[in-house]
Chains A and B, each alone.
Chain A
């Protein structure tokens, strides 16, 4: 479940994040929704490491294989004998291999980016069009009481769920809403109410 508070400026949004952390929520539960990028730490801190570049590399290698097979493999399968020239020509094979390497790597970057972002999302998620107008959303992920549902494989439960996790989820939602209202939220949207 997700609770989204909408703030008119980054200062009040920053205050809300600090209050949420003091209350026992952890950084991993809180994210910002903005229409422009802010440097990491201005509003929230987020994981900067990504894996999609490895996906780009893998696609590039697959592209190189595809290009080589397309140029050299087909020349070998369908040989065109011209004078004493080699069946597999070095120059065209190099060009086709290079171009397909780059094509696959470019496509892989976009596909990997969307995969890592989790887009397109199949379920409706909390959002407010005011964000496009420069308002700032602070979103808190609420977990079922005491369950480390959002933890990743290499992260300990203590890192991904704060002390408020011991409370029932309704109580967590109420606390997050109160804190965000106190910090100056102009609107609160909870996922179960959309």
Chain B
């Protein structure tokens, strides 16, 4: 690496001070933000309560469109969860040194997005109070949940993913919790002491820790892929026109990585600004993440092209009807999606100067997720609107209840992230300091370069 990622002059205490700055006493603006987000969550809960006490008729769901914004949210949030852990795991395995300040933001994002996403199948159930039918236990009629239902595959996969991602997040935080413990007092000291489990940082503990990190990274990647493949199978194993496609699992996985990486970039920009971490989240990090995003944008565009091109060339009547309906009724959304997910990132991210511009990266990353939300909507609604029987064709428009629950979900994610940032280090302190400890300046020919010591 020819470019320094950290200012060289800072000592360990200064690095700790700056990277643990998020743990300082909350300011009034933090309380105001938490209060605002809490209010939106409360409104979402009210809307959900209203739906519980009336019935599903207060939503826009009706024949033939029985999956609406709730399932759009489900797919979107599970997709978002993808990249956090996956990017972190891939960068850990590839030992990319620029990964270090990014890991925590990405891993935390996964845990909270999958928590939000996992609620939507339950919200969507209709009779939400019988959600425990999903849990395998022998009931009084001697029946057992039928694992042939894709809903149970989702439940199993999401449960595995949320536990795995939480463990992965915790594992990465372990040495940082010890640092936070040694610099805190009162309830924080007690909390970090319990979570740090008596970590002292012995040579043996570090050796085991690194092996465990690598193993966890290797194990979590196939889980992440399986989760979104299973979400794709919710659609692909049906015979609904527009869904019954072999490309769906890889296409969903690519889409999930696309939206996930964009979300990590958005969060990096917010964290950088709010906690004054400009020295740690540098333009180099955005440049590298931008390159990653460019590759994924190209892959997503290719997958979308293959999906549409196959439909167009085969011209199978009902498949083509669904596509024509989408292109007609949702033309604006379709064009916005293609622009946000494909045209904009491919054009903008080709240029180093734009990849290193924080403003440009914010616009690109936010628009990608707007595009990905639309993409989920366009997968679900047009296909259900125009199924095989023309006499039940219909359309769908979400009501205030569904939109309020959606707003509550976004606020809930932001609130969880805000609370997490106040309680736990948002930058991987020991990872960043490890790089600093291994750096030295060497003379090579006529110039002096920064090198990183590494022993195999």
Contact check, B216 vs A109: say whether CB atoms are below 8 A apart: yes
Contact check, A35 vs B179: say whether CB atoms are below 8 A apart: yes
Interface segment, one of A92-100, A147-155, A160-168, A170-178: A92-100
A125–B148 alpha-carbon span in the complex (Å): 53
Contact check, A75 vs B147: say whether CB atoms are below 8 A apart: yes
User: What band does the interface of chain B fall in when counting residues whose beta carbon is under 8 Å from A?
Assistant: 35 or more
**CB contact between A71 and one of B147, B179, B220 (< 8 Å): that residue:** B147
A residues near B245, Cβ cutoff 8 Å: none
Question: Per DSSP, are chain B's interface residues mostly helix, strand or loop, or mixed?
Answer: helix
Contact check, A52 vs B212: say whether CB atoms are below 8 A apart: yes
**CB contact between A92 and one of B147, B183, B198, B219 (< 8 Å): that residue:** B147
Is residue A132 contacting chain B, with contact meaning CB distance below 8 A?
yes
B residues near A45, Cβ cutoff 8 Å: 203
Q: Which residue of A lies closest to B168 (CB)?
A: A106
A residues near B163, Cβ cutoff 8 Å: 103, 106-107
Is residue B93 contacting chain A, with contact meaning CB distance below 8 A?
no
Is residue A40 contacting chain B, with contact meaning CB distance below 8 A?
yes
Given known pairs A75-B147, A93-B147, A109-B215, the reply for A50 and B202 (CB within 8 Å) is no
Contact check, B153 vs A95: say whether CB atoms are below 8 A apart: yes
A92–B203 alpha-carbon span in the complex (Å): 44
Contact check, B153 vs A50: say whether CB atoms are below 8 A apart: no
Contact check, B16 vs A31: say whether CB atoms are below 8 A apart: no
Q: How many residues of A contact B (CB 8 A)?
A: 64
Is residue A29 contacting chain B, with contact meaning CB distance below 8 A?
no
**CB contact between B430 and one of A35, A93, A107, A116 (< 8 Å): that residue:** A35
Contact check, A99 vs B200: say whether CB atoms are below 8 A apart: no
Contact check, B216 vs A132: say whether CB atoms are below 8 A apart: no
A residues near B171, Cβ cutoff 8 Å: 110, 113
Given known pairs A53-B215, A105-B219, the reply for A33 and B202 (CB within 8 Å) is yes
B residues near A82, Cβ cutoff 8 Å: 148
Contact check, B203 vs A119: say whether CB atoms are below 8 A apart: no
Is residue A62 contacting chain B, with contact meaning CB distance below 8 A?
no
Contact check, A106 vs B179: say whether CB atoms are below 8 A apart: no
Q: Which residue of A lies closest to B141 (CB)?
A: A78
B residues near A102, Cβ cutoff 8 Å: 160, 164, 219, 222-223, 226
B residues near A12, Cβ cutoff 8 Å: none
Contact check, B156 vs A95: say whether CB atoms are below 8 A apart: yes
Is residue B424 contacting chain A, with contact meaning CB distance below 8 A?
no
In chain A between 26 and 67, which residues have their CB closer than 8 angstroms to a CB of chain B? 31-48, 50, 52-53, 56
Is residue A133 contacting chain B, with contact meaning CB distance below 8 A?
yes
Contact with B along A111-131 (1 / 0, CB 8 A): 011101101110001010101
Is residue B206 contacting chain A, with contact meaning CB distance below 8 A?
yes
Is residue B445 contacting chain A, with contact meaning CB distance below 8 A?
no
Is residue B434 contacting chain A, with contact meaning CB distance below 8 A?
yes
Contact check, B201 vs A33: say whether CB atoms are below 8 A apart: yes
Most chain B CB neighbours (cut-off 10 Å) among A39, A44, A132? A132
Contact check, B167 vs A119: say whether CB atoms are below 8 A apart: no
Contact check, B201 vs A131: say whether CB atoms are below 8 A apart: yes
Q: What residues make up the interface of B, taking CB atoms closer than 8 Å to A?
A: 11-13, 16, 136, 138, 142-144, 146-148, 152-153, 156-157, 159-160, 163-164, 167-168, 170-171, 175, 178-179, 181-183, 197-212, 215-216, 219-220, 222-223, 226, 230, 430, 433-434, 436-438, 453-455
Q: What residues make up the interface of A, taking CB atoms closer than 8 Å to B?
A: 10, 31-48, 50, 52-53, 56, 70-71, 74-75, 77-78, 80, 82, 89, 91-93, 95-96, 98-100, 102-103, 105-107, 109-110, 112-114, 116-117, 119-121, 125, 127, 129, 131-134, 137, 139
Q: A34-B203, A102-B219 known; 13 other A-B pairs, CB under 8 Å? A: A38-B203, A40-B207, A40-B455, A52-B212, A53-B211, A78-B142, A80-B148, A99-B160, A103-B163, A117-B208, A119-B197, A131-B201, A134-B12
Q: List 21 A-B contacts (CB under 8 A).
A: A34-B206, A35-B178, A36-B175, A36-B437, A44-B203, A45-B203, A50-B211, A80-B146, A95-B230, A96-B152, A99-B223, A106-B220, A110-B170, A110-B171, A112-B212, A117-B204, A125-B198, A131-B200, A132-B16, A132-B179, A137-B200
